[in-house]
Amino acid sequence: MSFAGKVWRLLVGIKDGLVLLFMLLFFALLFAILSARPSPGMVRDGALLLELDGYVVEERSIVDPFEALLSQQAPVNEYAVSDLVHAIDAAASDDRIKAVALDLSRFLGGGQVHMQEVGEALQRVRDAGKPVSTFAFAYSDDAIHLASHASEVWVDPLGGALVAGPGGAFLFYGELLEKLDVNARVYRVGSSKAATEPYTRNSFSDEARENIGGLYAALWEEWQANVKKARPSANLDLATRDPVAWVQAANGDIATAALEAGLVDKLGDRTQWGERMAELAGEDSWSNDPGAFASTGLKPYLADIGRDNDGKAIGIITIAGEVVDGDAGPGTAGGDRIAELLDNALDDDLAALVVRIDTPGGSMTANEEIRRAILRHKANDIPIAISMANIAASAGYSIATTGDRIFAQPETITGSIGVFAVIPTFEDAAARIGINADGIRTTPLSGQPDLIDGFSPEVDAILQASVEDTYRDFLKQVSDARGIPAEELDRIAQGRVWDGGTARQLELVDQFGGLDTALAWAAKEAGLADGDWHAKRLGSAEPAYDSLIRQILTDAAQSPQAQGDMFAMLANQRLNGLGRVASDIKRLTSVQGVQAYCLECPRETRAIEPRELQGWLGWLASFATR
């Protein structure tokens, strides 16, 4: 028995060893698959094919692989505007690239500044004598903005193009909260600080309506000017002044109406477009599929062209998404994370620093962490340039005041110099269901703040005083940085938002220009000539598995950006807008400090999961039915 036991233990040990070996091999293989990167060898003569099946953003968010795989929810694809511009610019002078092809069938849009930056890059390709062609089932404003820079615009005969213009409905919860007996306590400074109005009113105040209306009118004028300049044949008046008559004149055929208005050039399906691309860029020798043409995708092309690393480094730190406390991001501007990236770069011997901002604002404490980290670089006596993208408002503008020079585009939304805090209390709701409070206090602040029994007058007064003090600090930051007297600044602040052109007139912005202009200025200030420097993005590397996880889940699940006709496009836009309900309620119910946040600034929507939406609606319904 002793011998048999030893044999048995040996067999068990061998079995355990083999299991361990196979597990190690499995995880090594899994890691290798997830770490696989596009091969530069995949680049071939033909077209640069950009299949933009998602959003164009300033900074891509990172997918948590375990959370994503467990949830089996396909994340929305994101494309960094810097990657797109870099690839398109390289294609303009690359002899292997005969044309640029944009498939916008599943395109979800992006900010107006980003659309203009990508569009200008496409124009540089055309100026180099190469064709640019786009295809989509349905074109909305952002897709039209890009397509206006193409030499050929194709649309499926079952689709079309509609121009909506900026603006739309904002959601207000004042009456709902009143019915639920929820008291939204608002502490604010700024007559136009509209970020709190959804929780206290049923419509905009006159001041907020005037300010937002002026902003959107300016953005609309810029959009039209950009599209008309790039595509003089487009009859925007025909498509926008009386869209019903325009479509009815084409017997309800929106694709034909788009053709007659000059918004598109050709009616044809995906196969016909591919056959045209084969004429422009060459036949696909690897595939016999209908409509195939010789092409290289974005990722392998980026891997092939790489980035210039010659000369001294000029750092670029990206502040994209809402400014929040903690390590959040990329895609969200976590104050601790960004401050750590900046501090880690203090020893990198940067020649200059460019701060790229695309945020509606957020936490003032996180904002201060970022400001202090930038100022530590400024103490090293290097030039600091601020490059504003789509939005640099509220806390975003506070961060911008750290720079030596502020660059923006005419379409950039900025300003919103004002602060607020919103805290819900439930004393009326508690009383309605029979919960009452009584207590003993030794000071006016004993037991305060109390969300169930409500706040005492002393707490209300202290919180309002704190917000007012933060506003004065905000004003002083701007006044000191811009050389505008505090009294004069207070008159143009008050939470108002401005387009880039107006902001420049008000001296909140120094110069028009994008990221390249800001980099060139920083290099000149650092005494560097062309070729003596390169741009270095701080913390821009993303895990290699990110793109593969997105692809696996998009293939395995119903993609939120599925292709469709005009009805599908419009329905998808409205469905994505439901995500704002969840974010607005989360903003009210989550624990947050003093905020400098811009409600009126357009926010990137996301495809909200049905179970998430049902959870929020169920939460509201549970209160409403009590």
Instruction: Kindly list the catalytic residues.
Output: 193, 394
Residue 290's CB is within 10 A of a number of other CB atoms, namely: 11
Residues 238, 261: contact at Cβ < 8 Å? yes
43, burial (CB in 10 Å: exposed 0-12, middle 13-18, buried 19+): buried
Q: Compute CA distances 270 → 106, 218, 308, 313, whole Å.
A: 13, 36, 36, 44
Q: Compute CA distances 19 → 11, 16, 435, 567, whole Å.
A: 12, 5, 59, 53
Sign of CA dihedral 544, 547, 550, 553: negative
> Which pair of structure tokens corresponds to residue 135?
């295809």
**Distance of alpha carbon 412 from its chain centroid, rounded?**
13
Sign of CA dihedral 411, 417, 418, 419: positive
Residues 417, 475: contact at Cβ < 8 Å? yes
Residues 127, 149: contact at Cβ < 8 Å? no
Residues 62, 543: contact at Cβ < 8 Å? yes
Q: Distance between terminal CA atoms of the chain? A: 72
Closest to 526 (Cα-Cα) out of 317, 345, 385, 373 = 385
What is the CA angle 332-338-339, rounded to 5? 145
> Which pair of structure tokens corresponds to residue 285?
């020798």
Q: Where are the alpha helices (DSSP H) in 165-242?
A: 174-179, 206-230, 236-240
Sheet holding 77-80, edge to edge: 77-80, 54-57, 109-110
Q: Residues for the chain: how many in total? A: 626
Closest to 178 (Cα-Cα) out of 195, 199, 205 = 199
Q: 571 CB contacts (<8 Å, ≥6 apart)?
A: none
Residues 403, 386: contact at Cβ < 8 Å? yes
